[in-house]
């Protein structure tokens, strides 16, 4: 990384620095509804920023994105979900608490169309959250594309949540979350039937340009 690129990464992307201002403008947040995650991130996901949520299959990546979407729609936000793999099940997300009347479901024909859709939605404004669910496939995008999406998110004040198997946005992401593992919780004991109580998901804040990176937490999800 060049010295200029390193300095830009430290100072932040557009909107993070206001030269000549005595005090920086407070960063508005979109609460996730998950108290541990909100505390770790200083109140929730930063609005007007790119946030990455990375994790391999079965680590709880989609479930976490769905939980954030549910809380946002229940709080009155209009959101969009760009479904690259056409894997979203409306009945399932509705059962998880997403208010479907506040959800725009976009089903692109591939990754290039998904990126164009994200650009269009961010440019249109009015969305509190846009989830770009890239699934497990897809190649690495150019820095020009991420730069464009980061600027569009800032102008609209929308959280662009990119859910994928790995982080790709680099310095254009304000926050990078990584799903580090999932463990089942069982109840019962000797000579008793074992019952699945829930799932514990470990999340690492691998990148946080407006807070402390390197923190980790465990989210506990109960089974119905």
Whether 117 is in a domain gets the answer yes
DSSP 8-state code for residue 142: P
Domain of residue 38, residue span: 26-179
What is the biggest distance separating any 2 CA atoms in the chain, rounded to whole angstroms? 70
pLDDT value, residue 174: 97
Give the Cβ contact number of residue 4 at 10 Å.
8
pLDDT value, residue 185: 55
Whether 15 is in a domain gets the answer no
pLDDT value, residue 201: 86
pLDDT value, residue 139: 56
Give the mean model confidence (pLDDT) for residues 150-161: 98
Q: Is the pLDDT of residue 105 over 90?
A: yes
pLDDT value, residue 196: 46
Mean pLDDT, the chain, whole residue set: 86
Q: Is the pLDDT of residue 124 over 80?
A: yes
Whether 89 is in a domain gets the answer yes
Percent residues over pLDDT 90 in the chain: 64
Whether 95 is in a domain gets the answer yes
Whether 6 is in a domain gets the answer no
Q: What is the domain-level CATH number for residue 139?
A: 3.40.50.300
Q: Is the pLDDT of residue 85 over 60?
A: yes
Whether 13 is in a domain gets the answer no
Number of domains making up the chain: 1
pLDDT value, residue 184: 65
Q: How confident is the model at residue 136 (pLDDT cuts 50, 70, 90)?
A: confident
Whether 126 is in a domain gets the answer yes
Q: Is the pLDDT of residue 45 over 90?
A: yes
pLDDT value, residue 219: 83
Label residue 197 exposed, middle or buried (CB < 10 Å: 0-12, 13-18, 19+). middle
Q: Name which of 135, 127, 74 is nearest 108 in CA terms.
A: 135
Whether 188 is in a domain gets the answer no
Q: How confident is the model at residue 19 (pLDDT cuts 50, 70, 90)?
A: low
């Amino acid at each position: 990384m060049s010295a200029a690129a390193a300095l830009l990464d430290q100072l932040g992307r557009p909107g993070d620095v206001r030269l000549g201002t005595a005090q920086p403008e407070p960063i508005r947040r979109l609460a996730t509804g998950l108290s541990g995650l909100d505390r770790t991130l200083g109140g929730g996901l930063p609005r007007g920023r790119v946030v990455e949520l990375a994790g391999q299959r079965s680590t709880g990546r989609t479930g976490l994105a769905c939980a954030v979407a549910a809380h946002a729609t229940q709080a009155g936000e209009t959101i969009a979900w760009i479904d690259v793999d056409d894997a979203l099940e409306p009945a399932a997300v509705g059962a998880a608490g997403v208010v479907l009347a506040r959800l725009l479901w976009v089903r692109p024909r591939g990754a290039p169309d998904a990126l164009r859709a994200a650009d269009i939605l961010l440019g249109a404004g009015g969305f509190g959250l846009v989830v770009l669910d890239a699934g497990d496939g897809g190649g690495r995008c150019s820095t020009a594309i991420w730069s464009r999406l980061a600027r569009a998110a800032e102008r609209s004040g929308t959280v662009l949540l990119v859910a994928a198997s790995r982080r790709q946005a680099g310095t254009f992401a304000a926050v990078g979350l990584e799903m580090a593992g999932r463990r089942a919780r069982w109840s019962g004991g000797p000579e008793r039937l074992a019952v699945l109580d829930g799932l514990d998901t470990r999340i690492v804040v691998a990148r946080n340009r407006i807070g402390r990176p390197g923190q980790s937490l465990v989210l506990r999800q109960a089974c119905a």
